[in-house]
Amino acid sequence: MMASTTVVEASVADDHDHEACRALGQILDRIGDKWTVMVVGALSRGPLRFNALMRTIGGVSHRMLTLTLRALERDGLVTRTAYLTIPPKVEYELTPLGRSLIEPLRVLSGWAIENRPAIESSRAAFDMAGEPG
Amino acid sequence: MMASTTVVEASVADDHDHEACRALGQILDRIGDKWTVMVVGALSRGPLRFNALMRTIGGVSHRMLTLTLRALERDGLVTRTAYLTIPPKVEYELTPLGRSLIEPLRVLSGWAIENRPAIESSRAAFDMAGEPG
DNA sequence: CAGTATCCGATTGGATACTG
DNA sequence: CAGTATCCAATCGGATACTG
């Protein structure tokens, strides 16, 4: 890792920046909603049933969890397996495609954890300048 | 790249998954909006003035670009430099913190570009099953 | 237990007009 | 040119009630 040092300052741009930004915009439209990454994170440990998922995530409504899971299923990131028992049992699991998303998300969450303090102090300074007294 | 093969299946979870997911959720709340990554992408090549930024991105309203830039400035990802000339000239530029975000975003856009075809065919198959005729 | 449907408040974001 | 303020339509998402 680390690559060359000069690359660190390189742009996301270069030749194909336009495509990269469009693709990035699309994927963020998709996973940038309130619950998708939470679901992927919860399922990254292994399959979970609907209500277990709900408890694991916490704070998600019945409705939104359903919608989020449908969207993930539609995109091929999650599989849904229904066991026609009484009471019903439905398991959700990441597909290989879904699992392949974990690493990119890890990179991003690593950045978030590492830089959160800097962001928060920047916010404090910015807000201080605005509301002096 | 490539790392070890067994890690591919590893979970985002492990010990500190909770913190990772919370941090990720927060950062996506922040950059997962409609314009932030477009602005970062546009500025990744170098400083730009307000209207240049607007033209580069395309489709963004005056208002939203302003709000997006303010938020980025507040978080310390972008600097704003106003030249008090007539007409006014204001340049926006990524800070080191802002530039550090480029690489994680690159990883994500790489994933998006690579897997978009799979996602789209999955969508087509899913929608076909739902609306048979 | 899992999923759907309806309702409604909150937030988002574009259009527009106005200011320095 | 850059920024702010107002207005409003569209979307998001929670609460609730109902179904198999």
Query: How do residues A76-108 score in pLDDT, each as one tens digit?
Result: 999 999 999 999 999 999 999 999 999 999 999
Please provide the average confidence, as pLDDT, over all residues in chain A. 88
pLDDT attached to residue B1: 41
Q: Percent of chain A at pLDDT above 70? A: 86
More confident residue, B33 or B14: B33
Average pLDDT of span A61-76: 98
> Rounded to an integer, what distance in angstroms lies between the CA atom of residue B133 and that of residue B129?
10
**The token pair that represents B129 in the structure block:** 């099953």
- Alpha-carbon dihedral of residues A97, A101, A102, A107, nearest 10 degrees? 160
pLDDT attached to residue B37: 95
> Rounded to an integer, what distance in angstroms lies between the CA atom of residue A79 and that of residue A48?
11
pLDDT attached to residue A14: 54
The residue to which tokens 């992927």 are assigned: A40
Number of inter-chain CB pairs under 8 A, A vs B:
179
Cβ(B116)–Cβ(A31) below 8 Å:
no
Cβ(B38)–Cβ(A25) below 8 Å:
yes
Chain B residues 41 to 100 with C-beta below 7 Å from nucleic strand C = 59-64, 87-88
Residue B131 with chain A: CB contacts under 8 Å: none
pLDDT over 60 at B26, yes or no: yes
Among the partner residues A9, A17, A75, nearest to B99 by beta-carbon distance: A9
pLDDT attached to residue A5: 42
More confident residue, A37 or A13: A37
pLDDT over 90 at B18, yes or no: no
Give A23's contacts (C-beta < 8 A, 6+ positions apart). Answer: B109, B112, B113, B116
Confidence of residue B13 (pLDDT cuts 50, 70, 90): very low
Query: Where is B111: in which H helix or E strand?
Result: helix B102-130
More confident residue, B2 or A42: A42
Instruction: Note the pLDDT tens digit of each residue in B50-109.
Output: 999 999 999 999 999 999 999 999 999 999 999 999 999 999 999 999 999 999 999 999
Q: For B29 and D6, how far is CA from C1' in angstroms?
A: 26
Cβ(B38)–Cβ(A21) below 8 Å:
yes
pLDDT attached to residue B15: 53
pLDDT over 70 at A20, yes or no: yes
Q: 3-state class of A82 per DSSP?
A: strand
